[in-house]
Structure formats: structure tokens, C-alpha cells
Structure 1
Amino acid sequence: MMDERIANMERKLVERNRRLVSEKARRREGEDQRRQRKEKIGQEKERDERKRMPASSAAMRSEESTKMKFKINLTKEATDT
């Protein structure tokens, strides 16, 4: 009778321990997935920023070249008259 109670208690403890370990593993997997998702989002944001940069710098370059052309035209007009 006493041995059965002890065996039953041990079995319950083992089952509880297994359940806790599996819950902990599941939680860890969830944390890993969230971390990976955050990293992926961060990488996508960086890539998008890099894509935007050349366009803005190209726009700035074309704006600067337009300004230079305008200045050249003004100096030509000034020398022509």
C-alpha cells in the first residue's frame, strides 16, 4: 500500500516535470521565433533604407547639376552682353 502511494507520487512528479520541461522548450521556441522575426524585419528596414538612399542621392546630384547648368547659363548670358 505504502509502496503504491510512493510509486504513484513519483509517477506524478515525473509527469509534471516532463510537462514543465516541454512547456519551457515551447516557450523558448516561441522566443526564438519572435527574435528571428524581429531580426528579419530589421534587415528588411535596412534594405529599404539602402534602396531609398541612392535614389535620394541621385536626385540631389541631378538637382546640383541643374543648378550648375543654370549658373553656367547665367555666366554665359553675362559674358554675351
Structure 2
Amino acid sequence: MKSLSCAIILLGTVALSGCHLLSDERRQAEVDKAMEDDNQERQTRLKAEGKLNSEESKALAHKLGWTQSDARGLPPPLTTEELEKKVKASE
């Protein structure tokens, strides 16, 4: 009987630890999505208020890491210059 209760406790602990890992991944995905939404909202608001012209908006978007995603939700591909910079930085 004692070994059965130990087995149940062990099984419960393993199950709960697995749930914790899934919730961390889900929480991180939610944080990333919220940050992306906030950045998009901020960018839209700045454009609507007329505080940035299109060139300033592009420069600010690049500086802050805002991406312009396509319909599939993917960011635009890196330019050749950006790829070369990444290669040089990794060397």
C-alpha cells in the first residue's frame, strides 16, 4: 500500500511538472503576441497623429525592431546587406 501511494505521488509530480512546462511556453507565446500587438498599436497611433512621416516611420520601425509582416504573418526576408552583417558579426 505504501509503494502504491508513493507511485501515485511520483506520477502526480511528473504530470504537474509537464503541465508547468507547457504553461511556460504558452505564457511566452502570449507575451510575444502582446508585445507585437502593442508595437503595432503604437506605430499606428504615431502615424495617425501625424507625428511621423513615412520615412521617419520606417526608420523608427527598423530601429525598434518592428516588422512588417505579410499576409502569412511572416516578416520580410533579410536584405543581402543585413545577411552580410550577420555573417561578419558571427565570425
The aligned amino acid for 1:61 is: M
Looking at structure 2, the residues matched to 57 and 51 of structure 1 have their Cα atoms a distance apart, in angstroms, of 10
Aligned pair count reads: 53
Q: Which sections of structure 2, spanning at least 5 residues, go unmatched? A: 54-91
In the alignment, what sits opposite 2:47?
73
Looking at structure 1, the residues matched to 42 and 25 of structure 2 have their Cα atoms a distance apart, in angstroms, of 26
* Structure-1-length-normalised TM-score: 0.59
User: Aligned to 1:29, what secondary structure does the other structure show?
Assistant: helix
Provide the identity percentage: 4
Q: Deviation at 1:75?
A: 1.7
User: Aligned to 1:76, what secondary structure does the other structure show?
Assistant: coil
* Structure-2-length-normalised TM-score: 0.53
Q: Deviation at 1:65?
A: 0.4
Q: Mapping of 1:31-42 within 5 angstroms?
A: 31-42=5-16
Q: Which sections of structure 1, spanning at least 5 residues, go unmatched? A: 1-26
Considering only CA atoms, is the larger Rg found in Structure 1 or Structure 2?
1
Looking at structure 1, the residues matched to 28 and 48 of structure 2 have their Cα atoms a distance apart, in angstroms, of 30
In the alignment, what sits opposite 1:48?
22
- Structure (1/2) with the larger helix percentage: 1
Structure 1 outlier segments of 4+, above 2 Å: none
Measured on the aligned residues, the alpha-carbon RMSD in Å equals: 2.0
Looking at structure 2, the residues matched to 56 and 49 of structure 1 have their Cα atoms a distance apart, in angstroms, of 10
